[in-house]
Amino acid sequence: MEVRVAGAQIPVSANIGRNVEAIERAIGFAVSEGADVLLTPEGSLSGYTHEFDVALVVRALEHVTTLARRAGLALALGTCLVEPEDARCYNQIRFYSRTGTLLGFHSKILRCGSLAEPPEGEINHFGATPLRTFALDGLTVGGLICNDLWANPCCTPMPDPHLAQQLARMGARIVFHAANGGRDGSELSQVAWQYHESNLRLRALAGRLWIVTVDNCDPVRLPCSAPSGVITPGGEWAVRSPPQGEQFFSHTIEL
């Protein structure tokens, strides 16, 4: 079995219109590459925030999913969204089939927060749902969002449940990982990059998983917080994007 994946290392901001334009460019690239599915960064549609214009995001979501559906492209779309069922905000990867059917969403589980008691940060603003897998064209896949994968000890106020390994045990063959990390160009940002890359490679190896990962590239004057690309079940890079600025990639995964 083969699946051709595309990834978009694009700028993510609070400006939903600009975010939509970036996702449109990513869809155009994915279609030109004959990709089956496109992955975008954490919060790529709404911005990485719980404070956004809900109605505007809903309209933007309809727009980009319609574009993908018309092109026959599946999506692993990073966005924050208020779910009408419980009126709670979730930081999500929303999975859509090539026919535009919503397969469900993964919501970020290891939400970042301070290590104080009680913790402060996004853990107080976003809901979480149980870990699950998705059937994408007959293939079992999973989603993880940023800290879900690497459980940074500086901002994770709960134990690391090793979510990538859990997905492997649940039958996932590919994990789509949407990131949006902070950085300032300092030495500590370089340390964080090394930690993120090491976790990506080691957790792919531990779970015998393919991992497709993309990060936000805004501000473009700085390298991203983590590399974007495709990692093999052996923990090696199959394809890797340059670390700075808007970048797109595609790769055919043979299972």
Q: Is residue 87 classed exposed, middle or buried when 0-12, 13-18 and 19+ CB atoms within 10 A define those classes? A: exposed
Condensed to tens digits (0 to 9), the pLDDT of residues 112-157 reads 999 988 999 999 999 999 999 999 999 999 999 999 999 999 999 9
In 3D, which of 194, 145, 135 has the Cα closest to residue 46? 145
Q: Does the structure show a pLDDT above 90 at 195?
A: yes
Tally of residues, the chain: 255
Give the separation between CA 35 and CA 56, rounded to whole angstroms: 28
Spell out a b/e string for 30-57, using b for 16 or more CB atoms within 10 Å of the CB, else e: bbebebbbbbbbbbbbbbbebebeeeeb
Judge if pTM exceeds 0.85: yes
Give the separation between CA 91 and CA 111, rounded to whole angstroms: 9
Q: How many domains does the structure of the chain reveal?
A: 1
Give the separation between CA 32 and CA 120, rounded to whole angstroms: 43
Both tokens of 234, joined, read 């052996």
- pLDDT at residue 116, rounded to an integer: 87
Ramachandran region of residue 201, left (φ > 0), alpha (ψ -120 to 50) or beta?
alpha
Q: Does the structure show a pLDDT above 90 at 36?
A: yes
- pLDDT at residue 180, rounded to an integer: 98
Q: Using alpha carbons only, what angle is made at residue 149 by residues 147 and 153, rounded to the nearest 5 degrees?
A: 55
Residues of the domain holding 205? 2-254
Condensed to tens digits (0 to 9), the pLDDT of residues 74-109 reads 999 999 999 999 999 999 999 999 999 999 999 999
Average pLDDT over residues 209-215: 99
Residue that the structure tokens 């990506």 belong to: 200
In DSSP terms, which residues pair with 74 in a beta bridge? 37
Q: Tell me, what CATH number does 156's domain have?
A: 3.60.110.10
Percentage of residues in the chain having pLDDT higher than 70: 100
Both tokens of 72, joined, read 């026959």
Angle formed by the axes of helices 54-71 and 16-32, to 10°?
Answer: 10
